[in-house]
Amino acid sequence: MSPTIKKYLKIGLPILLGVFLIWYSLSKVPLNELLTYFKNANYSWIFLGMLCGLLSHLSRAYRWQFQLEPLGYKVSLGNSVMAVFAAYLINYTIPRAGEVARASILTTYEGVPFEKGFGTIVAERVADLLVMMLIIIITLFIQFDFIYQFFIQKFNPLHMVIGLFVLLILVYISIKFLKASTSSFALNIRNFVSGLLEGVLSIFRMKKKWAFIAHTIFIWSMYIAMFYVTSFSLTELHNTPFGAILIGFISASFSIAATNGGIGSYPIAVYAAFSLFAIPEAPSIAFGWIVWTSQTLLLVLGGGLSLMLLPIFNKNKKAEIDKNKDIV
């Protein structure tokens, strides 16, 4: 397959999937009914959820400075905030392109070499992945009885034990193969794992590592709070157990990787998680759309303003950076 075809598939498939999932969600809840939920929602809770989302993004921008300082770069908070918002907005066009754009913005306006800026973004993604794993583990403990009963009802316990045993054997064989193999695939996997470990260790070598960890916890606490408080905007979800909120949040978080910014996939992921708790599909899908729409609106406004203000905010600074490049 040619690189051009791969490029178009990488961009086009998430968009097509998003369009299909939008159609699917509207087949479950007609547009007029969905709009009724939006009309009757309590917007005080929605705006509070947006505030939680805003605080998480500001904290992410501030946390980024802790990673850049040891590299010898003191980046202005304004540029850090605008780079983060611009990256979120760009991710709605081409998946993961926002991370590249975010590092490029620092290169353009702060003189931070692209590879160094991008390396800090990879490291922070590793930290986010670890926190997400921790949230999943906590959710498993909180909802252990529910999850255990769910799997017992759906699957034969003996088959589950056998499946787990086979999975462990396959993991063991895969690890041995990847360690011994000299194929390009094995080398790429080893380099990826090595990069993840290096990213994790770099966090603990950071001068302000405890501040970094505190902000990481705060960011994800705000994500969960955003999801939780917005659920109060619909009266049908007022009695939703917190365990269902956590499972819905995890499901929705993973859905963002499926399509551009989670369009179409986000409300379906929320519905799939809430259906495990016998929560009706109409308010579940409506809630998913309300959360996604409110947070997307925040990112579109923040990202759009950031892209407009970056050249104005850095007019003199960019000229100075370009001058220094010419001297070198």
Q: How far apart (Å, rounded) are the C-alpha atoms in residues 308 and 311?
A: 7
DSSP code at position 218? H
pLDDT attached to residue 119: 82
Q: Mean pLDDT check: name the lowest of 57-61, 143-147, 167-171, 241-245.
A: 143-147
Q: How far apart (Å, rounded) are the C-alpha atoms in residues 55 and 244?
A: 24
Contact 283/236 with Cβ under 8 angstroms? yes
pLDDT attached to residue 7: 59
pLDDT tens sequence across 248-304: 999 999 888 778 788 889 999 999 999 888 899 999 999 999 999 999 999 999 999
pLDDT attached to residue 221: 96
- Structure-model confidence comparison of residues 20 and 223, the more confident one: 223
pLDDT attached to residue 145: 73
Range 143-156 average pLDDT: 65
Q: Mean pLDDT check: name the lowest of 54-63, 142-151, 315-324.
A: 315-324
Q: How far apart (Å, rounded) are the C-alpha atoms in residues 283 and 288?
A: 8
Q: How far apart (Å, rounded) are the C-alpha atoms in residues 24 and 31?
A: 11
pLDDT tens sequence across 169-211: 888 888 887 777 777 777 777 776 665 566 566 667 777 888 9
The tokens describing 200, both together, are 């994790």
Task: Decide if pLDDT at 102 tops 70.
Answer: yes
Residue 209's H or E segment, with its range, is: helix 209-230
Kindly report the average pLDDT of the chain as a whole number: 84
pLDDT attached to residue 328: 46
Neighbouring C-beta atoms of residue 213, cutoff 10 Å: 17
Range 21-28 average pLDDT: 82
pLDDT tens sequence across 48-82: 999 999 999 999 999 999 888 887 888 899 999 99
Task: Decide if pLDDT at 45 tops 90.
Answer: yes
pLDDT tens sequence across 203-215: 677 778 889 989 9
Q: In Å, how far from its chain's centre is CA 41?
A: 25
The tokens describing 39, both together, are 């009309």
User: Is the pTM higher than 0.85?
Assistant: no
- Which residue pairs, CB below 8 angstroms and at least 24 apart, start in 189-194? none
Q: How far apart (Å, rounded) are the C-alpha atoms in residues 205 and 203?
A: 5
Nearest-CA neighbor of 132 among 45, 219, 69?
219
pLDDT attached to residue 209: 83
Distances (CA, A) of 21 to 24, 66, 159, 248: 5, 39, 33, 17
Task: Decide if pLDDT at 17 tops 70.
Answer: yes
The tokens describing 293, both together, are 């729409």
Range 152-174 average pLDDT: 73
Q: In Å, how far from its chain's centre is CA 290?
A: 18
Residues in contact with 233: Cβ distance below 8 Å, sequence separation at least 6, in sequence order: 41, 42, 43, 44, 45, 46, 49, 287, 290
Contact 112/324 with Cβ under 8 angstroms? no
